[in-house]
Structure 1
Amino acid sequence: MHGTQKFDLCQFNTPDEKVAALLDEMTLQEKLGQITQSVWHNNVSPEVIQEFGIGSVIHTEGPTPGPKALDWINTFDEFQNAALQTRLGIPLLVAVDAVHGQNTFEGAVIFPHNIGMAATRNLELIQRSAQITALEAAGTGFNWTFSPCIAMPKHEHWGRVYEGFSEDRDLTTAAVIASVRGHQGQDLSLPHTIAATAKHYIGDGGTDGGVEGGNTTISEQELREDYLPPYAAAVEQGIASIMVGFNSVNGVNMHQNGYLVNDVLKGELGFEGVVITDWNGGLRWGEPHLVLNAGIDVVMQPGNHEEFITRLEASVRDGTVPLARIDDAVGRILSLKFALGLFDNPFGKREYATGIGSQEHREVARQAVRESLVLLKSEGDALPLQSDEPIAVVGEHANNSGLQSGGWSIHWQGQSESYVGATTILGGIRAAARNVEYAEAGCHGAMTANKVVVVVGERPYAEFKGDSDELWLSDEHKALITGCKTLGKQVIVVLISGRALVITDELKSSDAFIAAWLPGSEGAGVADFLYGADGFTPKGKSPYAWPAAIEDLPLEADAEHALFKFGFGLSQY
């Protein structure tokens, strides 16, 4: 029996029959509530869930439920209880941007961003990392993640390059298959699985000039041959949801692109899951009916749910949005909730709370880090380091887990402070070596070590705040490298970045150069690489081509004038 009406779903045998029965019973207001997603801490409360019948909530930047996993579960269970006390007792979807681990919870394992995971070329590792992400997300009260991002970034100017796996179609396709299998397993109703989301459909990584939310000018042939196959693979794997992008394709915004959503995604590819907007997607570009009629099923409205529902209801009542379109959207949402087993077990998975940030999980992330690093240069026996030789470590990025993790780490824009549970790169080196000097500001004349690990790179950013034309190291970071070299040191550069940068001069000033991407919480994996721990040899292959000069961008993967082509990576020190 469900809800205050004690609606009996047991009289129906199959999920499809149960969905049809609920649709027959639901009022228009209840259906519009199911379509609506809001932010739990933004103008939403359990009472609002009941009043509007809201079908899903998301956790994003802002207040957290508390420092402990059970605080999170208790909070979301309170919202879930409110949903269960509505007339029909339809449970909530509870979503999060867990894009490289459950990265919104301080103390969870944070994996390398997708750019690094793709560099490993280890599909089993990508799948295992997604499994751990699902466990740690479920253990903090979530049943849905907005991951993986399968953009194929074509412009390093774009602030979301690191969210995508690669510029390469085939590598991206293989990675999304592994990710979906990891998140969703064989059966979404099992407690250790969560619904995954492929995003951002479609062409978000190919906008003109690499502008976040810009226009992607592209031929139909290129769209189908290059950008569509990863989504087709995700659909074939049974991915639960797909998020449309902020971008437009040939002038038509993806939130209103009926051809690409209705005709191609749902029609040609046969996608039967849920299509969701991005942030404020139902009102950002005009009236809600333009979004619903384009084939969107769930609409993310942070705090302005009442305005969205009111305006959409008017469009349904005047016939602008057919009731059949509303029923199709709600039917998809209900089907996902049945697939997740929420009608039987709607609450957070307390049994997984104690495993969050476990040593077992961290060991997998540490493996991902060491396998993701790409050795771009190695000369003069600079590597591997020996545990008994004096080593100096330079640069603030070496001693700061926030800086080494990038955006979408604890906070939307990341943070410039270390966070709970993480190991810095310096911490990893100190655990591996006997004689380590840390000189954050740079090499100096009294420094005894001949070899210096210089850790430099970008500061954290996310989305449009990462769009940039300055794709090179800061003068301060360049000076750290040249300063050490001027003193006659052997310089091993570890570059922390969410994209390929212009490093031509810095490469010349180094004896070894490592692209470390955004490694996440397990900085000891960098030390494993530097010291060749347990016989380790470099495995990472670059998921992007590297420009020799800023004028080279955008750069084709196999461009002859590239500093390094796609797939480059030394396999011996």
Structure 2
Amino acid sequence: MDLKITEAIETERKIDALLKGLTLEQKIGQMTQVLHFEPLTEGEVAAGRIGSVIHTQGPLPGEGAMGWQQRFRNLQEMALASGPGIPLLFGVDAVHGQNTYEGATIFPHNIGLGASQNADLVEKAAAITALEAQATGFNWVFSPCIAIPFNEKWGRVYEAFSESTPITEKLTQASVRGHQGRLSDVHTVMATAKHFVGDGSTENGIEGGATTLSASEIKDRLLPPYRAAVASGVGAVMASFNTFDGIPMHAHRELITGTLKGEMQFDGIVVSDWKAYSRFGEADIINAGIDMVMAVDGDLELFQEGLRTAVETGYVSGGRIDDAVRRILRQKFRLGLFDNPYPSAALIDKIGCQEHRDVARQAVRESLVLLKNKNEVLPVSPGAAKIIVVGAHGDNSGLQSGGWTIDWQGTDRNYAGATTILQGIARMAEGDVIYDAEGREKHPDADLAIICVGEPPYAEFFGDIGHESNTLKLELSKKHKEVIANYHDQGVATVVVLISGRPLVVTPELEKADAFIAAWLPGSEGDGIAEVLFGKYDFKGKLPHCWPASLEDLEGKYGPNFWDDSVTPLFPLGYGLSYG
């Protein structure tokens, strides 16, 4: 008999034995995920009533990576000393590197990796993310996002690879391979395909809104990346906030149990998103197929007591509970947690190491899309006598990295270990480099102005166009338009570097610029941009989205090819110039 089959059979036998010894409360505990700093966490862990712990926005687990590891080691010891003795899963939103830890290697967000279309590079980035996540104590990451964005108004466009289903399929497989490797290895983690399904295709791009595509459109456009993830052995799938046919996706039994678990034969964990139990139907989400619940922000008692009552009254079957716990235990065995439950201190020195940063810098270089290069103003001559770097985005690693960087909504400050665009340019240039942060100075004698403009950091709901929390638009701010106009009007050759999580309407600015680059959200290695600007490397990136010519082009939803038949994009999917 094949060794893998033998191991799988043995694992199921071990799970059977564990299930027989668990009380209902302990089974529900395995289905429970909490924040590491929530009240009752330690007591619940010690009682064997927690299955997973997560870190996201909030107090840090400890001082430095060793402190993080020690916090999770302490919780793991409590779990193993409890009656069930089942190890914990530790999850983190590491969506472009271990982005919750300052000093980690931060990669371009997925939209940039989508522009690279380099599956090998995506796999390497995922493997490095996994190692640095393990080095800070985690064995589970909530990545990759494999949504297909239909509307640029959505505040999570940058978390997805592309509006192209084939590109997303290819890079999904690479990401899962990179994160998970051989699951039981100490430097790999369990990956999570998210968010199932339709999160990027809601009306008007509203996070958690209504997905009004037909069932056939969902099957043909949105589900193929999930099939690819399942075929690649992804360990978890996270449900999404949106609705379909008026049903919250968390409570959509036909799609979760019927399609994902049944038709696709997914045998891993279906995990809820934030506070889903109280938001989307309580026990109904368990009946729909959710296996593990983020019982956060006051949901812990509501979830555990509510589900216990639902089982005792027959609203949720004991078989559904056993299926959920079996899936959770299966992944814990596959991760090797019963044999090796603790993080390795030997990995800490790898966090943000030069080898990892070299890969991230390559990812930055290959993500850049050259949209215009009038009169071959690029590449920049290293011997240029005077170069002006313009704009706050030019010398701020927080602004260049976007949301999900250090903090949930990102940061507007420089963070440890990162290199800014200005620093990279200063290293490459032989002449004078002057920084004009506000973009109001006069330098008519400059050889070149490299103008860095774009969006502020944002994440999730707060990045939706029209959300009450922001004044974001699908175009540059008035200030950034004025910055470009200032240098254009001086007669200085201008190169615009656009830092954004989605295509923006920049048609007037394109006309004023001599060269224009879509740099997306490059992460911690800003010097990768400089290396391409100075011609050390050529442009390789190709647009992962069609690029709009006007704001009117972005009204409503896209048509059969993601654009209405009446709309011609300014630049099509796959567009991108090079020096050659």
TM-score by length of 2: 0.94
Alignment of 1:298-337 (within 5 A): 298-303=292-297, 304-337=299-332
Partner of 1:517: 520
- 1:329 is paired with a residue of what secondary structure? helix
Partner of 1:464: 461
Partner of 2:429: 433
Partner of 1:365: 360
Look up the equivalent residue of 1:532 and give its one-letter code.
G
1:570 aligns with 2:577: yes
1:485 aligns with 2:488: yes
Partner of 1:449: 446
C-alpha distance in 2 between matches for 1:517 and 1:327: 44
Deviation at 1:349, TM superposition (A): 2.1
- 2:376 is paired with a residue of what secondary structure? coil
Counterpart of 2:344 (choices 337, 342, 349) is 349
C-alpha distance in 2 between matches for 1:63 and 1:507: 43
Deviation at 1:286, TM superposition (A): 3.0
Write out per-residue CA displacement over residues 502-542 of structure 1, whole angstroms, 9 at most, x where no aligned residue.
00000001000000000000000110110111xx2110001
Conservation of the 8 A alpha-carbon contact between 2:454 and 2:480:
yes
Conservation of the 8 A alpha-carbon contact between 2:444 and 2:491:
no
- 1:277 is paired with a residue of what secondary structure? strand
Alignment of 1:85-484 (within 5 A): 85-185=81-181, 187-287=182-282, 289-303=283-297, 304-389=299-384, 390-434=386-430, 435-442=432-439, 444-446=441-443, 448-469=445-466, 470-484=473-487
Conservation of the 8 A alpha-carbon contact between 2:206 and 2:464:
yes
Partner of 1:544: 545
C-alpha distance in 1 between matches for 2:460 and 2:19: 37
Conservation of the 8 A alpha-carbon contact between 1:557 and 1:566:
no
C-alpha distance in 2 between matches for 1:399 and 1:36: 42
Conservation of the 8 A alpha-carbon contact between 2:107 and 2:125:
yes
Conservation of the 8 A alpha-carbon contact between 2:130 and 2:187:
yes
Distance 1:32 1:59, change over 3 A: same
- Structure 2 unpaired stretches of 5+: 1-7, 467-472
Identity %: 52
- 2:279 is paired with a residue of what secondary structure? coil
C-alpha distance in 2 between matches for 1:253 and 1:88: 34
Conservation of the 8 A alpha-carbon contact between 2:445 and 2:492:
no
C-alpha distance in 2 between matches for 1:161 and 1:519: 15
Distance 1:122 1:13, change over 3 A: closer
Deviation at 1:447, TM superposition (A): 5.4
- 2:39 is paired with a residue of what secondary structure? coil
Conservation of the 8 A alpha-carbon contact between 2:444 and 2:490:
no
1:72 aligns with 2:68: yes
C-alpha distance in 1 between matches for 2:444 and 2:553: 39
Give the root-mean-square deviation of aligned CA atoms: 1.3
TM-score by length of 1: 0.96
Write out per-residue CA displacement over residues 28-76 of structure 1, whole angstroms, 9 at most, x where no aligned residue.
0000000010111122432231235200010000111234111110011
Conservation of the 8 A alpha-carbon contact between 2:26 and 2:84:
no
- 2:434 is paired with a residue of what secondary structure? strand
Matched residue pairs, number?
Answer: 558
Partner of 1:530: 533
- 1:29 is paired with a residue of what secondary structure? helix
- 2:517 is paired with a residue of what secondary structure? strand
Conservation of the 8 A alpha-carbon contact between 1:218 and 1:250:
no
Distance 1:44 1:483, change over 3 A: farther
1:60 aligns with 2:67: no
C-alpha distance in 2 between matches for 1:396 and 1:569: 26
C-alpha distance in 1 between matches for 2:570 and 2:40: 51
C-alpha distance in 2 between matches for 1:424 and 1:13: 52
C-alpha distance in 2 between matches for 1:147 and 1:196: 6
Look up the equivalent residue of 1:146 and give its one-letter code.
F
- 1:344 is paired with a residue of what secondary structure? coil
Conservation of the 8 A alpha-carbon contact between 1:158 and 1:205:
yes
Partner of 2:469: none
1:496 aligns with 2:490: no
C-alpha distance in 2 between matches for 1:239 and 1:141: 20
Conservation of the 8 A alpha-carbon contact between 2:150 and 2:562:
no
Partner of 1:3: none
Deviation at 1:123, TM superposition (A): 0.6
